Every structure is written in structure tokens, then in C-alpha cells.
Amino acid sequence: MKRKQGGKLMLTNILLFSALKRLLCCALLPLSLLSGCFCAEALADDNYNTRWRLHGFIAQGVIDVDHSNYVTDDGDISARLTEIGINASYQLSRDFRVTGQAVYLNGGNRYHEGARLDYLLLDWSAYSTENWLVNFYFGRFKNNHWLYSNIRDVPQARPSIILPQSIYFDGFRDIAEGGEGLDIKVSYSDDELGEFDFGLSAGTSDISKAQTQIILSKLAGGRLKHDYDIQASLYWRPLYSSWRFGLALLDSDFSYDGGEQDAFLDADIVLQRYFLNALYQGEFWELSAELLQDRFVFDDFYFPGFHQDNLGQGIFLQGRYKAGNRLTFLGRYEKFYINKDDKHGRKLEQGSQGQIPAYFGYQNSFTLGVSYDLLANVRLELEHHWFEGTARLTPVVLPDARANSREHWNLWALQLMYWF
């Protein structure tokens, strides 16, 4: 069985690498013709291959969750903690670059298993001076707006194996991770005010049937469609400061088209999110906090005229201590409730005639972790999470109260990662 799984993983890796190569080749050909700058002369001078960049990571771990179906349905220790990614970038000319990344993820019930195209885009550096940098990204782009949104699947770059679910909810991973359309980044730096980064993106994601069921319910026979998505963010680091502050906004619309003989009706969903975050980076301490308010409007689905309009709120406070170049300790506290007017979930339970327990209205957690760099690019990470409440377990819309019958649950995870 294990040999079969290992062979499957290897096959997946091969397919992933070959898919990325094909995608980049397909993207490069027309773009290189368009730019007119893909010249042999420039390549001949490029002794250090400065036009190409190739990076990647591979991480495998074990995870054990007690009293919830967060990763598996049986509650046993699981190896469903695999993350593989590879990206390549090619500088077509001084102002144009093409880049792409493919990932393979297996997180059990957290999101659907398989390979994904994380991003594939044309980067146009439209304006660049000593102080200003303006870039337009066309194609499939990553979500670069929240504190950890663009590195949530990058094991060596994120602060922990499992990110705070209040904000980086795994159930929304495929929707929140990026979109297809246009992304704009404007950076400004000077010697008085410091560094500013403004981002604006518009683009939607394709939602698979598996992902639809993860979000809504296993009984959902139709497909969720991402109709509209616009995001903006602004970050500021004062001059020579160890602090960085940010805010981000998201406005998105979804629709559900019920299948034939579906248990549910067509539905319209609006998701609006507001974020504030702060990051401190000292020599030994790294502190971060992120605050979220999200509005979730849900129409029809259960019956014609059904209407739900909730304001959820979440926050995490995180500290990391670097005990030398190799060893890092992590501590984090997180709080989240799906309806700020029902912080204890009582209305939720009453509204469902007791079918949905009150603890599905909130989810708080405490995390301790440690990581050790075995080599410059090999790291071992271990962490333990204690949870209270189940508001960030899937499915979201029709919770699984049978599989998640306890208010208190916990998990530990151990992951080995390599990157280049």
C-alpha cells in the first residue's frame, strides 16, 4: 500500500514538473515573439543565466487530529501533509518577464487533493525609478494582499504548518489563493516616509465540484461559480523601522447552480472581507497580528427567500523567537466567530433546531511550535494546536455535526521540508 502511495507521489511529481514545463513553453513562445527581445545576442552574453530563475520546495509530514474530521474521517495519524511546488521565471526583456508555478497538495479533508496551477503570468514592469516601481501582472496571479496569503502553501516561508484558520481558512484555500485577470502593484520608497506597497487585483477562480462540496456540503450536486472578485491592499514600513503595517479589502460574489435532483436550490453568495495587520521583525523576535471582519451574505439555497447576512470577526496574535540561526519557537493565540452578534453560537443552535451545536459558531485556538534548520535548505517543524469550537471546519454552509461532535479538539503535526 505504502509502495503504491510512493509510486503515486513520484508519478504526480513527474506530471507536475512536465505540466509546468509545457505551460511555460506555451506561454513563452507567443510572449517572446510579441516582445521581440528574446534575442540570441542577449543570451550569448548571459554567462550567469540571469534570465532564468528556478525554485521549488517539497515537504512531507505526518498529522494527527483528535475529535474532528479536519484532516481525516477516521482520526488516525495521517501522512496527508504533502506539499510540492516548482516555479520558473524567464526575463523576456528589461521590462517583461513570464513566470509560473505549479503545486501538488494533499491535506486530506482540508482541500481537494491534486496538482494546481498556482500562477502563470506575464509581468510588465511599466515604470521603474529609484523610488517608484509599477508592475502589471496579466494571467493567473496569486493573492498578494494578506499577511501570509501568497506563501500559505510555501512550507519554508510561512510561520507554521497550519496557519491561523480564522483568516487562512483551508476550506477557502482554492478560492482565496489567487485569480485569473489583472493584478497591479505600485511600490514607493523614499528616505523620509519609508516604503509603501499598494496592490489591486481583479480576477476570479474556477471552483471544482470537489471544492464546491468542501465549502457547501457533500450533498451539493451542483457547482459553485466565482463571479466577481476585487481586492486591494496597502502596506507601509516607516523608514528603517522594524514594523510594517497593512490593510486589505476583498469584495467577491459567488453563485451556486444546483444540479439535477439536487438537495439544494440555486444560491447567491457575497463575501466581503476587511483586514488590518502588523508585523515586527527584530533580531530575535518576530511578532505579527492580523485582524479580520468578514461579511457573508447567503440567499436562497435551502428554500426560496432564505436570507442570511453574518458579520464574522477574527484575530490572531503570534510571536516567534529565533534562538540562533537554526532554531525558532512559535506561540500563537487566535479567536474567531462567524457572527459577531452570536459570539457563543446560541442563535445558530436555536435556528437549526439543535441540529448544529453552538460551538460551530466560533473557533479559538492556541498553538505552540518549534522548527529547526537541519541544513541551509532543510527544515524540520513540529507544532501542537489546541482548538475550542469548530467554526472553521468544512463543510461551512451545512456543518458536519456528527463527525465533529466535540467542542474541544486538537492536532499535532510534524513536517520535513526541502527547498531550492
Partner 1 sequence: MLCGLVICPRAYSVTIITHASVGQADIPSSQLRRIFSMRQLRWQNGVAITVFVLPSQHPLHQRFSKEKLGIFPYQLDNIWQKLSFSGLGATPIVVQTPQDLLEAVKATPGAIGYAADEAKTGGEVDVN
Q: Which residues bind partner 1 (CB under 8 A)?
A: 45, 47-48, 50, 53, 55, 57, 85, 87, 89, 91, 94, 97, 99-101, 118-119, 121, 123, 125, 128-130, 133, 135, 137, 141-142, 144, 150-151, 154, 156-157, 185, 187, 189, 191, 195, 239-240, 281-283, 322, 325, 376
- The three grid cell numbers given for residue 401, joined into one nine-digit string: 455535526
Which among 212, 213, 402, 216 is positioned nearest to 302, based on CA atoms?
216
Q: Widest CA span of the chain, in angstroms?
A: 73
Q: Please give the angle made by the CA atoms of 84, 118 and 43, to the nearest 5 degrees.
A: 90
CB of 120 to partner 1, least distance (A): 8
Residues 6+ apart with CB under 8 A from 140: 117, 118, 119, 120, 121, 178, 179, 180, 203
Which among 143, 236, 233, 257 is positioned nearest to 192, based on CA atoms?
236
Cα Rg, the chain, nearest whole Å: 22
Residues 6+ apart with CB under 8 A from 100: 20, 23, 24, 27, 87, 88, 117, 118, 119, 120, 121
Nearer Cβ to partner 1 (261/325): 325
CA–CA dist 383, 410 (Å, integer): 11
Q: Please give the angle made by the CA atoms of 377, 85 and 152, to the nearest 5 degrees.
A: 85
Nearer Cβ to partner 1 (42/62): 42
CA–CA dist 137, 167 (Å, integer): 25
Q: Please give the angle made by the CA atoms of 43, 45 and 51, to the nearest 5 degrees.
A: 50
Nearer Cβ to partner 1 (281/310): 281
Residues 6+ apart with CB under 8 A from 344: 358, 361, 362
CB of 392 to partner 1, least distance (A): 24
CB of 151 to partner 1, least distance (A): 6
